[in-house]
Amino acid sequence: MRIALGIEYDGSAYNGWQSQPDVPNVQDALQAALGEIAGAKIAVLAAGRTDTGVHALEQVVHFDTDADRPLTAWMRGTNAVLPEDISVLWAHPVPEEFHARFSAQARSYQYVLVNRPARSAVHHGKVGWFHLPLDVDAMESAARLLLGEHDFSAFRSSQCQARTPVKNLASLDIRRQGDTIIFDLTANAFLHHMVRNILGCLLYIGKGKYPPHWICEVLEGRDRKFAAPTFAPDGLYLRHITYDAKWGLPQGTMSSCF
């Protein structure tokens, strides 16, 4: 039997999603909890990896098991043994053709940035912070230039293992709510550090270091050295994974921090 799960987690205490020896990670914690429910080892595959300190509002994973358990066991039972900063949101049986990663049609991320002179204490670890005033209109102008299918080599890390740097950025929306700026990005897939590298460039433009069209020079240069430094992971959330309705996943509306 193949089961899909929706997972929410606070990534602050973890070295990212992926299983790694001798460091805490979300995948190992989830697999250990599911193994207690199944009474056997469980291996999960995710829609996408998140880096150290990055959070998820709805990661999607799947696993195969011979254990006959009600769906409530895979959700509430697993949550009873998971750390408090990881939660199973839903469980749903899927056919063997379903794959959390390869069946995904799009991924959506959200970055929450506090833009004021003082950093946030209440939301420490959950939001990014930039102390200088930012021009949202300038950042929006730059964001529009990134939409569509491009070679995003200038925005990928040197550790990126993606087979191709060509991705289709479907949307990049920016809005201000008081002293908070929210960035919503959706693409067919993202490169390693792509969101945080795009954000770093947008902040350069927002603070007036470069005009909006500079981001085209970075994009066309296809070289990481032309872009801004990678921005902090704290305010980054894997927001939603889009699948064909035929799988019947109980995802509901797209989650949001704000």
- Could you list the active site residues? 51
- Residue 217 — φ and ψ, nearest 5°? -65, -40
Neighbouring C-beta atoms of residue 199, cutoff 10 Å: 27
Q: What is the DSSP string of 92-128?
A: EEE-TT--TTTT--EEEEEEEEEESSS--STTTTTSE
Residue carrying the six token digits 């750390």: 83
- 208: left (phi > 0), else alpha (psi -120 to 50), else beta? left
From residue 97, alpha-carbon distances to 2, 102, 247 in Å are 9, 10, 10
DSSP 87: E
Tell me which H or E stretch contains 150: strand 148-151
Three-state SS letters, 11-67: HHHCCCCCCCCCCCCHHHHHHHHHHHHHCCCCCEEECCCCCCCCEEEEEEEEEECCC
On whether the CB atoms of residues 71 and 44 are closer than 8 A, the answer is: no
C-alpha to C-alpha distance for 66 and 231, rounded to whole angstroms: 43
